[in-house]
Copies of this chain bind each other. A is one copy, B any other.
Amino acid sequence: MKKIRIGVIGLGGRGLGLLKDAILPRENVEVIALSDLYPDRMEEAAKAVQEVSGISPELHRDYHEILKMESVDAVVIPAAWEAHIPIAVDAMRAGKIVGCEVGGAYSVQDCWELVKTYEETGTPCMMMENCCYGREELMALNMVRKGVLGTVVHCQGGYHHDLRAEVSFGRENRHYRLRNYMNRNCENYPTHELGPIAKILNINRGNQMLSLTSTASRAAGLNEFLKREKGEDYDITNYPFAQGDVVTTVIKCAHGETIVLTLDTTLPRFYSRGFEIRGTKGMYTEDTRSIFLDGVHNKYDFDWKPMWNNVEEYRKDFEHPIWRRNLEEGVRGGHGGMDWLEFDAFFTAIEQNLPMPVDVYDMAAWMAITPLSEQAIATGAPQAIPDFTNGRWTMREEEPCWHFGLANVCEE
């Protein structure tokens, strides 16, 4: 069987991690090219490739050289946020299948270009949103599809992750977040947890995000952190960071559902994706790892504590088939197994010529939240969310069982 030959463009922390944990261990994939602006990153990655596979990948500072390689079937793009869409567009034009890491867009126009390029070229493009493959998110999806939570009316989620060190020391770490936090104020990282929520709400397949409001708090977290870590005299300790500490974006959907999305990365806290699904028959909530089912749990209405962590009792009935298999086979890769599963889906779709489970319409709609949030914060006015399917969302069917690229599991 022919192996999938790929290039990896962007070899910072995320790129190197994915390479080692989610790509190189695969027997059906060969990494034959690497690109990064920094030679040391390329060399470190090349060493890893060689050690595992014996292959010496081509190294190119300019990713266009990789796109010119006839032997390359697909590219994976864990680059800086600013580079995602330009590289994805160039790759589609070069006929290279795209697996693009997450992040927000910088303009709605870029999202359109992504879609139009896909429609012109037909080159498959997947957004690698690993949280779509999270165990909790997939279990909630499974419960929704089985009707256990009733009609879904409201969803919440966010990226609650203390990144003060990563952002503040962005120069030492060569990290793109610093320049973004210095200059922009927006929901800069929407796809955790919009991705899994959009799948639950059938966005682009019978449903659509129509409009949003977005409100940013003041920025205080980074300055106080830098003062403590580096002192009053450090050059950016008193820098007026543009990015608010907490950004709350509220999205309204075509069938009246609401989504509350939160960016929360520069204040002290524990990690959470704040995932919550509210239906007419029940709810799933991540922070207490609990499920409320109407008619079952009402006696705990005023003392929910005994039900904290009750999600474990429901694994038996509602564990998603993808995760059932994953646990049987042994969880692999980073981020608790999500990274492995998303790349499973990506490579399975390539091998079997299936539609991408997170396609270019999803990618455009989710990434557009960033510039729209930026506009909403800047102007104070709600923003309309474009329909990147150009009306086809009313006709596109709900995603079939092989949706996550693992048809055999779903058919069990």
Contacts and interface: CB of A to CB of B under 8 A. Distances in A.
A230 interface: no
A250 B252 contact: no
B246 A258 contact: yes
Contacts of A153: 217-218, 220-221, 245-246, 267
Interface string A262-281: 00100111111000001111
Q: Looking at A154, A250, A380, which has the most chain B CB atoms within 10 Å of its CB?
A: A154
A216 interface: yes
A304 B272 contact: yes
Given A245-B154, A248-B250, A270 B297 contact: yes
A305 interface: yes
A307 B272 CA distance: 14
Interface in A275-299: 278-283, 285, 287-289, 292-294, 297-298
B255 A268 contact: no
A211 B380 contact: yes
A250 B221 CA distance: 20
Contacts of A302: 270-271
A150 interface: yes
B245 A215 contact: no
A218 B267 contact: no
Contacts of A285: 287
A121 interface: no
A53 interface: no
Contact of A216 (B245, B258, B282, B300): B258
Given A301-B271, A304-B272, A307-B270, A215 B283 contact: no
Contact of A218 (B246, B255, B294): B255
16 contacts: A153-B218, A153-B220, A154-B267, A211-B380, A213-B213, A213-B250, A218-B255, A218-B257, A248-B260, A267-B278, A267-B283, A268-B293, A270-B292, A270-B300, A272-B304, A305-B309
Given A211-B380, A221-B280, A268-B294, 5 more contacts: A153-B245, A215-B250, A248-B260, A271-B301, A287-B287
